[in-house]
A = this chain, B = another copy of it.
Amino acid sequence: MSRHITLGPGAEFDAVRALLDKWGTAAIGIGDDAALLDVPPGDRLVVSTDSSVETVHFRREWLSSEEIGWRATMAALSDLAAMGASPLGVLLALTVPRSWRGELPALAAGIGEAVSKHAAPIVGGDVSDGDRLALTITVLCHTRAPLARSGARAGDSLFVTGALGGPGAALQAWLSGGTPTAADRARFARPDARITAGRWLAAHGAHAAIDLSDGLGGDVRHVAAASGVRCVLLLDAIPRVAGVSIAQALSSGEEYELLVAAPVSDAAKFSAEFAAANDGLTLTAVGRVEAMHDGADVVAEQAGLRVAMPSSARAFDHFAAPER
């Protein structure tokens, strides 16, 4: 089979041809009505879809077009990183306003770089006109033993990958008219999906994982609710980027780090092995899981004492956010 089907005439197909030129070997089999893929025997298919919409998830003046493409792709891949799954491919639905058409090659370059990094070929897509740039990316993966957010059990330790707070600090700087630090900006603009880390964790006994797209303070509640447990966060243990408060680290969304529940008594040894297998990426114990007989709960501790959860620690909620 040839790598791509020959496309008919028309401006919409010209746009697709320009994208394919940019992607090269990062895209396969585009142009037919649908793409064909094979799931390895014995594995299950894992799928997820994620939209990045201009002014909702980013503003044009904050990011280059390459970064917008990269970030949207990594955000979509991140959902499956939390499952411990391996990529099969991605489908792209792009809504491209007229004012953005000249940026298509740059957007495509960012998308292509991100999918290539995780060996997730582009296998299909759709391009539409619209008022705002929107990238809806569906990710297909496979795995034999999927992680879920519902698997946390009493006695588990809670871990997070990396250091939190960078994307939130960058957003806060932009929204208050300032300029983020280069480090915070990079955390927002060039996140990496923790695909390799998720696989390592699934293979080393993790019970549950979730990516921190809503922020640790919000996502830990999803784990507690889905698993029917109490999650205890040790506030002083939360790994943070420089200059960020605990409250900011808890509320910083779009992190794309993982929160993991795993049954390990020797957290330090687990973290060291993890770092060795994942290019030095840190894994930090940040709490524990306790039994709940009815319902679910999240509580905070500091210096061994139960404390109130810092007040800005809420999930970023696209529907509750003020008009921007």
* Residues of chain A having any CB pair with chain B under 8 Å: 5-12, 14-15, 31-39, 41, 44-51, 53, 56-57, 79-80, 82-83, 85, 88-89, 91-93, 95, 123-132, 134, 136, 138-141, 146, 148-150, 210-211, 218, 221-222, 225-226, 228, 296, 315, 317-321
Contacts and interface: CB of A to CB of B under 8 A. Distances in A.
Given A49-B91, A51-B126, A53-B129, A79 B11 contact: no
A177 to B, nearest CB: 23
Q: Is the interface of A mostly helix, strand, loop or mixed?
A: mixed
Contact of A10 (B14, B33, B139, B317): B317
A164 to B, nearest CB: 18
A320 B8 CA distance: 14
Contacts of A10: 218, 315, 317, 319-320
A82 B36 CA distance: 13
Contacts of A320: 10-12
Contact of A48 (B33, B41, B50, B127): B33
Contacts of A12: 317-320
Nearest to A36: B44
Nearest to A14: B319
A126 B136 contact: yes
A3 to B, nearest CB: 12
A7 B129 contact: no
B93 A319 contact: no
Contact of A38 (B45, B57, B95, B126): B45
A270 to B, nearest CB: 22
30 contacts: A5-B150, A5-B226, A6-B225, A10-B218, A10-B319, A10-B320, A11-B320, A12-B320, A14-B319, A15-B319, A33-B79, A33-B80, A33-B82, A33-B83, A34-B48, A34-B85, A37-B44, A45-B140, A47-B89, A47-B123, A49-B93, A49-B136, A49-B138, A51-B95, A51-B126, A51-B128, A56-B128, A126-B136, A128-B134, A132-B132
A93 to B, nearest CB: 4
Contacts of A41: 41
A93 B50 contact: yes
Given A95-B134, A150-B5, A226 B31 contact: yes
A37 B33 contact: no
Given A32-B226, A130-B56, A8 B50 contact: no
Contacts of A6: 225-226, 228, 296
A14 B320 CA distance: 11
